[in-house]
Amino acid sequence: MLTDAHNRIINYIRLAVTDRCNLRCTYCMPEQMQFLQRRELLTNEEILTLLKPLAAAGIDKLRITGGEPFLRKDLMPLLTELTAFIPEISITTNGVLTQPYISQLKALGIRKINLSLDTLQRERFLEITRRDQFPAVMQTLYSLLEHDMLVKLNVVIMGGVNTDELKAFAELTKQTPVSVRFIEEMPFNGQGHDFSGHQWNYLRILDSLREYYALEHLPGTPQSTSINYQIPGYLGQIGVIPAYSRTFCGTCNRLRITPTGGLKTCLYGSDVLNVRDLLRSGASNAFIMNEIRNALGNRAADGFEAERQNQHWDSMSVIGG
């Protein structure tokens, strides 16, 4: 079992398999990105070598992120290997390239898909992402639902950009079993621009939704990052994620691994260890696991403490979305 300095059990890893993305969302990365060379990324063999002892130590939940994970050419063989020893695997994707893989994912038992979608308007999608891929993303959404996948829509709320679409997104839950999750904007845009997470926090988002709906609060798990609700009579659910307010830090059960093997014990903190370098130096599994346990033993109490120790905001695509 893995535990941190505050006796929290760690059983969940978010693994970014690439920093590359085929969109350029303004809250995530600059228009011009210098992407990593392939040799800088963890290989499939390195990922498997790393995750097997972690699974033996209690990691039973894995989320594959990026960048955009489906830009990684060897992703499906990797997922096939991972399903042999990780009980629950989910994926976060922007949906542009996902649709052709849905049947394969379902066959592997991977049904939990988080689809990033910040607007339901094609022109606005182009403005936010700098790419005209709205039809492809919507086709992925429809196909996921047709295949009975468990879909969560991740909607980053940006002041002056998409706050007028809260009701439109909520209405998606009326006749489809989708979970729409409104996320506070975070400072990880890689551009040094201002962000609106402190202005449009989860309480303001909820207040705006309550202008239209009588929201019913739903019970959640202790480690959940979202506060969940349902509109009476609607099939789906609505959630708010206090990503900047960080109300969920006290029960955090996750680690992050960046595409280059950086280990983060907190989203708001710096890398505390590089597992790729350890693997390539020939370090044993026992040594690497001991280093990970030591890092957890020095874990910040919450995202605010981690933020005070980290003065540089990377692009979210480098961190792992």
User: Looking at residue 274, what is its pLDDT?
Assistant: 97
Query: How far apart are alpha carbons 309 and 267 in whole angstroms?
Result: 12
pLDDT tier, 316 (very low <50, low <70, confident <90, very high otherwise): low
* Helix pair 122-129, 134-146: axis angle to 10 deg: 110
Cβ(225)–Cβ(244) under 8 Å? no
User: 26-35, 51-60, 121-130, 137-146: which range is least confident on average?
Assistant: 26-35
Summarize pLDDT for 120-140 with one digit per residue, the tens.
999 999 999 999 999 999 999
> What share of the chain has pLDDT > 70, as a percent?
93
12 forms beta bridges with 61, 254
Q: By the 8 A CB rule, do 108 and 87 touch?
A: no
- Which domains does the chain possess? 2-319 (3.20.20.70)
CA 260 to chain centroid: 17
Spatial neighbors of 264 by CB under 8 A, at least 6 apart, are: 255, 256, 257, 258, 270, 271, 272, 319, 320
Confidence of residue 247 (pLDDT cuts 50, 70, 90): confident
- Residue 126 CA to residue 311 CA, distance in Å, equals 31
State the pLDDT at residue 246. 81
Average pLDDT over residues 299-317: 72
More confident position, 38 or 189: 38
Task: Categorize the per-residue pLDDT at 221 as very low, low, confident or very high, splitting at 50, 70 and 90.
Answer: confident
How many residues are there in the chain? 321
- As a whole number of Å, the end-to-end CA separation of the chain is 26
pTM comes to: 0.93
pLDDT band at 233 (very low <50, low <70, confident <90, very high): very high
pLDDT digits (tens, 9 = 90+) for 64-94: 999 999 999 999 999 999 999 999 999 999 9
Q: For 145-154, what is each residue's pLDDT tens digit?
A: 999 999 999 9
Angle at CA 218, nearest 5°, toward 228 and 65? 35
164/168 Cα distance (integer angstroms): 8
What confidence score (pLDDT) does residue 313 get? Answer: 58
pLDDT for the residue numbered 272: 93
89 DSSP 8-state letter: E
Residues 300 and 62: their CA atoms lie apart, in Å, by: 22
Question: Are 16 and 67 in contact, with CB atoms under 8 Å apart?
Answer: yes
- Residue tagged 């429809």 (tokens): 142
31 vs 40: CA distance, rounded Å: 22
Across the chain, mean pLDDT equals 92
